[in-house]
Each structure stands twice: as structure tokens, then as C-alpha cells.
């Protein structure tokens, strides 16, 4: 995992995401999820490019059930893009890098 992607949990979610002064992309994932593993390197590439303007975070849904439940996560991977503490965009499933990049640019 890239040094620019932080692992967050139910306890740190509010501080790291909702109270962040920069936009945040949160990847809801699980270690057993094939598509989650496939999208991981794409997220890492985007973190390298946009990591100075956007915070990148991952939430393991198996270890942190409260946050995914709060945001209606029914399938993984689901990526939610937050700006000013609000959900601005949501993508579920394995998608092209360009689609993720467009969502990130929409936050800036």
C-alpha cells in the first residue's frame, strides 16, 4: 500500500474524513475481495499524482462495520469522495482509472 493512503477505522473516520480540510477519497474494501485487490494499484497511482491535494483513505469493512453501514455500502469496492464533510460522489465496483480520476478532479 502506498504511503499516501491511510488506513482508517470507525473511530478515526470523523476526524480524518468529515473534518478534513482537503477532499478525501475513501476506499471501502476487504482483504478477501478480488475487485478490491484489482482496484488497489489504480488507487495507489492516483494517490501518487493527487496526494498533495486529496487525502486517500481505506476502510476495511470487515473490521469496521459502523461506517460502511452509515453510508449504505452494500458492495465492495465502493469509493466515496468527500468534500467539506459531505459525500460528493460514489463509485461501486471495478472501474477504469479515468472514471476515478474524473471524480477526483470534480473535488478540486
**Where do the domains of the chain lie?**
5-107
The pTM of this model reads 0.95
Which residues, 6 or more positions from 101, have their beta carbon under 8 angstroms from its beta carbon? Answer: 46
Supply angle C-alpha 15, 47, 21, rounded to 5.
Answer: 30
Name the class of domain 5-107: alpha beta
pLDDT tens by residue, 42-75: 999 999 999 999 999 999 999 999 999 999 999 9
pLDDT of 3 over the 90 cut: no
> What integer best gives the mean pLDDT of the chain?
95
Cα distances from 4 to residues 51, 84, 91, 92, in angstroms, run 6, 20, 20, 22
pLDDT at 71: 96
Active-site annotation, residues? 33, 36
- Alpha-carbon Rg for the chain in angstroms: 12
CA distance 95 to 63: 24
- Per-residue pLDDT band for 20 (boundaries 50, 70, 90) equals very high
Amino acid at each position: 500500500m502506498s504511503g499516501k493512503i491511510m488506513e482508517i477505522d470507525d473511530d478515526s473516520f470523523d476526524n480524518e474524513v468529515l473534518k478534513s480540510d482537503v477532499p478525501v477519497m475513501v476506499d471501502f474494501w476487504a482483504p478477501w475481495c478480488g475487485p478490491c485487490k484489482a482496484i488497489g494499484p489504480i488507487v495507489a497511482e492516483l494517490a501518487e499524482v493527487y496526494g498533495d491535494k486529496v487525502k486517500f483513505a481505506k476502510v476495511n469493512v470487515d473490521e469496521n462495520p459502523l461506517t460502511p453501514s452509515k453510508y449504505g455500502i452494500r458492495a465492495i469496492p465502493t469509493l466515496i469522495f468527500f468534500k467539506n464533510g459531505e459525500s460528493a460522489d460514489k463509485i461501486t465496483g471495478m472501474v477504469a482509472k479515468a472514471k476515478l480520476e474524473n471524480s477526483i478532479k470534480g473535488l478540486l
